[in-house]
């Protein structure tokens, strides 16, 4: 998607991390405002705006479509904490808030990675305990 184009989130005036309820509320308010039968705008202009709102809501109200759209525009819901000296970002689009649009390589540890680190730590502690207990049994400590 071109960075100069308005996103569906911009059309609905919500942040990309908005919940489904917030998106629905924004859509309902804006659809009342821009419906061709109830607006003070010219009918062709209101129709175009209303159709754009419907398209945005159709994409963002369905979880799979929203995920595909987020991938298309480069939005990631993953919150990442990383030391700044390990990663230098050079190609972040400036038209999005930096807290919402992250580099795709930034991500937290998955549950499997955390479990692997935990098992490594337990193994290390177990080895130390085993070495100490062997030393005690042999009478070297």
- Alpha carbons 77 and 100: distance in angstroms, whole number: 7
Spatial contact of 39 and 31, defined as CB atoms under 8 Å apart: no
Provide long-range contacts, Cβ within 8 A and 24+ apart, for 9-15. 9/56, 9/60, 11/52, 11/53, 11/56, 12/53, 12/56, 12/57, 12/60, 15/97, 15/100
Percentage of residues in the chain with pLDDT exceeding 70?
74
Question: From the CB of residue 70, how many other CB atoms can be counted at a distance below 10 Å?
Answer: 19
Give the pLDDT confidence score for residue 117 in this predicted structure.
95
DSSP character for 60? H
For Cα atoms 62, 68, 74, give the angle at the middle one, nearest 5 degrees. 130
The whole model's pTM is what? 0.51
- Alpha carbons 129 and 106: distance in angstroms, whole number: 36
Spatial contact of 92 and 98, defined as CB atoms under 8 Å apart: yes
Spatial contact of 57 and 12, defined as CB atoms under 8 Å apart: yes
pLDDT digits (tens, 9 = 90+) for 91-116: 544 444 444 444 555 667 789 989 99
């Amino acid at each position: 998607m071109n960075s100069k184009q308005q996103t569906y989130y911009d059309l609905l005036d919500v942040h990309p991390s908005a919940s489904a309820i917030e998106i629905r509320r924004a859509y309902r308010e804006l659809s009342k405002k821009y419906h061709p039968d109830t607006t003070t705008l010219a009918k062709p202009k209101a129709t175009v705006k209303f159709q754009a709102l419907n398209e945005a809501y159709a994409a963002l109200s369905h979880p799979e479509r929203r995920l595909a759209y987020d991938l298309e525009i480069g939005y990631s819901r993953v919150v990442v904490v990383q030391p700044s000296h390990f990663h230098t970002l050079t190609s972040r689009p400036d038209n999005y808030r930096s807290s919402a649009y992250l580099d795709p390589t930034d991500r937290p540890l998955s549950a499997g990675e955390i479990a692997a680190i935990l098992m490594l730590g337990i193994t290390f502690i177990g080895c130390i305990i085993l070495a100490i207990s062997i030393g005690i049994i042999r009478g070297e400590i």
